[in-house]
Structure 1
Amino acid sequence: MLAYHQKSFLIVDDFSDFRSSVRSMLRELGVKEVDTADTGEQALRMCGQKRYDFILHDYHLGDGKKNGQQVLEDLMIDKLISHESIFVMVTAETSQAMVLSALEHEPDAYLSKPFNRSGLAQRLDKLVQRKNLLKPILQALDRGKPAEVLSACAALCQQDPRYAPLCLRYRADALRDLNQHETLEKFLKGILADRPTPWAHAALGALLFKRGQMKEAQAVYEVALKAFPMLPALYDGMAEVLVARGETKRAQSVLNEAVRLSPLAVRRQTMLGKLALANEDFESASRAYRQAVAQGQHSRFKNPESNLGLAQALISKGGEQGLDTRTRLEINQTLSEVAKQNEGDQGLQVRARLMKATSMFKSDPETAGKLVEQAMARLDGMEQFLSADAALAVAAQLQKLGHEEAGTAVLKSVGEIYGDDPVVMQGIARLTDDPAILGASKAAVDLNLQGVRSYKAANLAEAQELFRKALALQPKNISIALNLVQSLLHGASAILPPAVFEECRSGLNMIDKMPDTDPRYPRYEKLRIKVLGE
């Protein structure tokens, strides 16, 4: 039996009687260290100060408060909980939406109310036995060392081959983190050949997607969904593949099914809203974005893009008929929240004002005009690049509001910064047929591709010269600047020659306005540290 007197517990529930009841059960089991909290926010603060062996967390802590799923997300992302700790989701609710939502985030166990001391002890004992067996693996996970995870898995399997099934997913995740893609693919296919397993299907689909093998990834997800039609994550993966293949309407249909099964995921609702908006299904888009905004109030994944998407969907839904009073009020409240909660983000301030101007363009053109002026003034004074999606949205709004010249200026800037991305250029092409904008990036992109080929062939001098020529054509282009700096640093000594240092510094300074949400930002930071030590 578990030595309960050595373990620490945290009970999180909004009912004091339940907290007292569970504390009494634990006391009878010999537990000496029992803390309690009545809100998720309080639980997070306590976990930030102390490591708990067990957390028994109620799923629903009252309307307008963090729920257990959101607390578990925060604990994992902020690394406030060890892999050795045990998180048990407790609830009296049994709806499919709640159960699937809770299980998607993989707590160690799910416990239905009511329960007694014997049932609680039995469940905890089994969980601890499993964790103790996997202890070396879990400790390696806490250290963030995937190679050590593989070693620990090998040692456990050698100790007793019967434990091999317990290690499969840990081994797969470690291979993924080590970027051993070919080994991982072979490993996952071996698992699936032996027995259909949902997580292995999902992992193989994600791997194939990452490697650009969309047809093969789609085939994997199709097989998986036939075998496991109740797993929302498989629908998410399938939708992602379909979007990449240009089948956005089918992707929306697939994601609708995921939302039907498990509607309490903010990111899933946001993705559905984005897809529906692109498909001009404004009713579905407004419904999905509305859910994302509501569910995101206390979620780690709260995103102002959901507010902006909701406003856009509602405006588009109104069409030529215009907006009724109730819709205008919802748009105003939605955009006011963005402006209020993101005061330091000039890009969001610009977009919120333009969106509000769009909603008022017919009913109050004078106020709409003032909002556009405010937005353009902020746009001129911005110190940071807009993301490609945000910039395209701003350009489209300016065009609709009658400011063609300003919209064209934004599109030109987007082409200069992101012109190496064909998807971005397609977005620009949907908004303009100006050959000066559409053709400006082609020469720079060609030179950049030649530079990449030379770099891979270890022709560094040639690569550097090609990148310099490309950057001269598009001095704000993020990818080209990063490529030039990386090629200059390749094989360089710790102390850079003055000329190389200056060229690297200049290249990085050209793009230091890139948003930190850009997927290339971590690469930029690494290169900046190498060059400037900051």
Structure 2
Amino acid sequence: MPPSKPSLDNLRLLVIDDMVEARSSIKRMATELGAKRIDTAMDGDQATELIRNNDYDLILSDYNLGKGRDGQQVLEEARYSGRLRYDSVFVMITGENAADMVMGALEYEPDAYLTKPITMGMLGQRLWRIFEIRRQLSPLYQAMNRRQQDKAIELANSLLLEMPRMLGPITRILGPLYMHKEEYNNAIRVYSSLLNEHKVSWARLGQAICLHHLGDSLSAIALLKDILRSHPRYVQCYDWMARIYLSMGDADYALQLLQKAASISPKAVLRQSELGQLADRQQNWEVAANAWEQVVRLGRHSCYKNAESYFRFADAANQLIESDRVTYKRLSDKVARALNEVLNDFSQQPAIQLRSWLAQGRLFKSCAQPDKARHALLMAEQLYHKMEHPAAGDTIALSAALVQSGNHVKAKELLQAMEAIDERDQLMQELDEAVIRQHSDETNARGVSLYEAGDLFAAMRAFDDAISHQEAGISVLLNAIQVRVSIAQGKQCDPQLRQSLIVQCRPLFQRIGAIASTDERYDRYHRLRASFTRLLQEAAQ
């Protein structure tokens, strides 16, 4: 006969709650259930540190832990870092009824989920069921802890024959083991055995995933839709439908499905990251900026915090700010704060700090704050030159920023010092083109000044210098025609020079080609064309 209540003797426990009374209450219940070794933590950060340095059999954690990590993030990081054994038990306790919190916590699979107020009888009954399973499947959990997957599969199949009543718990372990080894037919067989007796949604989800990997994506989608008809908030079904539709080339619908999943469980960092990546790919900057902002916010106190998420947030947001800096003023403020956070939190990583200054420069340029943009670029330059061995990507990023700001000489010096790579060669070509455009613009401006001063021949030489490059624009070509027409129409122009100027105008008109009537230069073009035609007719008489 099983004991009437579990004994927690010989187990090491951790109780996590930010409220001293609740922490004391849970600890007292655990003591009455036989626990002798109990650690406590008052917040998520302290709990994470204790889990990192100790081996716990049972963790009882409140969901809401005040500032810093919450219970979901403590569980998430413990599983991510491998600090929870397969036979360790994590129980989530909360008074929160908000759907996003509940779904987020369940998604990271605590072994039990209890809602306050909790009685000792409720806690004891739940723990007895969990630890009884752990006791009966102890050899299987030991193999899993040792990462002996083949042995675990062998043990799981043996235990299925010995203890058919444990079909559910064993299938929950054996199915993913087969899937990890890409033995999808075996996984389907195991899930089907369970589903013949119990219609559990997680096993049907496992079947759908296997069908997709076996190439039957349409059947997988049909099964996932059927699961959702019974359990419309089963968020992982939306995740997998999105991945399947994406593999089939329907990225737009995949994005809609991921948005639906994120609306059901918005606190899942990995899902928001997946949504952000897909939205980036689809250039849906509203969705991308919101998703990356959530990744930054949710990951701030978790194991998933990384600078790349901040930069992806800045890049997506910048696309919106460039289009309408007034509408997205609040968003630009959020990006500025996020990039400053990167500078503070990654102060010992120069490459990350360099990217942060460059991102700030782009942001301030989009916000029409040139002084701040120049300062950010200057800080990036100074940091770059202090780096002992900057990576090629750092050089390319800084050079690109210098090109965009018009500092072509500095950019070229950086690039010339690099070994040749495709990105460098491409940027060098862009740099050469940018230098040519800048030279053409400057020469054209000098020509305009000379023309206005009445020095037409000097103006013509300047315009000719500007149009010597194929990159010369329509306005520059029109200026070159204008000065020729003006000289040819002058009373002092001899017939031979006039004829030469008329001949020179023809290829310039050909380079311009047709101009749309909506083009602001349309009227000027046709006036010059009419003057050119009159000169031709006069020369022919």
TM-score class, shorter-chain normalisation, is: 0.5 to 0.7
Contact map agreement 2:16 2:40 (CA 8 A) in 1: yes
User: Residues 87-98 of structure 1: matches in 2 within 5 Å?
Assistant: 87-98=90-101
Instruction: Give 1:352's aligned residue.
Output: 356
1:296 partnered with 2:276: no
Of 334, 338, 342, the match for 1:338? 342
C-alpha displacement at 1:398, in angstroms?
Answer: 7.5
C-alpha displacement at 1:228, in angstroms?
Answer: 3.6
TM-score (norm 2): 0.67
1:227 to 1:297, Cα distance in 2 relative to 1, 3 A: same
Q: Deviations over 1:226-257 (max 9, x none)?
A: 45431112212222233333322212210111
C-alpha displacement at 1:71, in angstroms?
Answer: 1.0
Instruction: Give 1:483's aligned residue.
Output: none
Q: Deviations over 1:4-52 (max 9, x none)?
A: 3333322111111112222222333333332221112222333344333
1:3 partnered with 2:7: yes
Larger Rg: 2
Instruction: Give 1:238's aligned residue.
Output: 241
Q: Deviations over 1:102-128 (max 9, x none)?
A: 111111101111011122211111111
Residue range with higher mean Cα deviation, 371-380 or 31-40: 371-380
1:201 to 1:272, Cα distance in 2 relative to 1, 3 A: same
User: Residues 197-276 of structure 1: matches in 2 within 5 Å?
Assistant: 197-207=200-210, 218=221, 221-276=224-279
Query: How many residues in Structure 1 have an aligned counterpart in Structure 2?
Result: 419
1:158 to 1:361, Cα distance in 2 relative to 1, 3 A: same
Residue range with higher mean Cα deviation, 281-290 or 217-226: 217-226
Instruction: Give 1:446's aligned residue.
Output: none
**Partner Cα separation in structure 2 for residue 150 and residue 350 of structure 1:** 49
**Partner Cα separation in structure 2 for residue 334 and residue 322 of structure 1:** 18
C-alpha displacement at 1:201, in angstroms?
Answer: 4.3
C-alpha displacement at 1:294, in angstroms?
Answer: 1.3
Instruction: Give 2:452's aligned residue.
Output: none
1:245 to 1:368, Cα distance in 2 relative to 1, 3 A: farther
Gaps of 5+ in 1: 418-427, 433-534
Instruction: Give 2:33's aligned residue.
Output: 29
Contact map agreement 1:272 1:285 (CA 8 A) in 2: yes
AA in 2 matched with 1:21: S
Of 52, 56, 59, the match for 1:52? 56
AA in 1 matched with 2:44: G
User: Residues 97-496 of structure 1: matches in 2 within 5 Å?
Assistant: 97-181=100-184, 183-184=186-187, 187-188=190-191, 197-207=200-210, 218=221, 221-322=224-325, 326-361=330-365, 363-365=368-370, 367-369=372-374, 371-372=376-377, 375=380, 413=421
Instruction: Give 1:440's aligned residue.
Output: none
AA in 1 matched with 2:159: L
Contact map agreement 2:90 2:111 (CA 8 A) in 1: yes
Q: Deviations over 1:248-299 (max 9, x none)?
A: 2212210111111111111212222333343333333322222221111111
User: Residues 55-94 of structure 1: matches in 2 within 5 Å?
Assistant: 55-62=59-66, 64-94=67-97
Contact map agreement 2:12 2:56 (CA 8 A) in 1: yes
Percent identical residues = 28
Q: Any idea what SS the aligned residue of 2:300 has?
A: helix
**Partner Cα separation in structure 2 for residue 340 and residue 178 of structure 1:** 42
Q: Any idea what SS the aligned residue of 2:13 has?
A: strand
C-alpha displacement at 1:328, in angstroms?
Answer: 3.6
Q: Deviations over 1:119-154 (max 9, x none)?
A: 221111111111111111111111111111112212
User: What is the root-mean-square deviation of aligned Cα atoms in Å?
Assistant: 3.9
Contact map agreement 1:361 1:401 (CA 8 A) in 2: no
Q: Any idea what SS the aligned residue of 1:298 has?
A: coil
**Partner Cα separation in structure 2 for residue 147 and residue 281 of structure 1:** 44
1:159 to 1:14, Cα distance in 2 relative to 1, 3 A: same
**Partner Cα separation in structure 2 for residue 384 and residue 183 of structure 1:** 50
C-alpha displacement at 1:366, in angstroms?
Answer: 5.1
Contact map agreement 1:235 1:257 (CA 8 A) in 2: yes
C-alpha displacement at 1:98, in angstroms?
Answer: 1.0
Residue range with higher mean Cα deviation, 301-310 or 255-264: 301-310
1:32 to 1:374, Cα distance in 2 relative to 1, 3 A: closer
**Partner Cα separation in structure 2 for residue 375 and residue 193 of structure 1:** 63
Of 19, 22, 27, the match for 2:23? 19
Instruction: Give 1:467's aligned residue.
Output: none
Q: Deviations over 1:369-389 (max 9, x none)?
A: 5644665787797857678xx
Contact map agreement 2:171 2:191 (CA 8 A) in 1: no
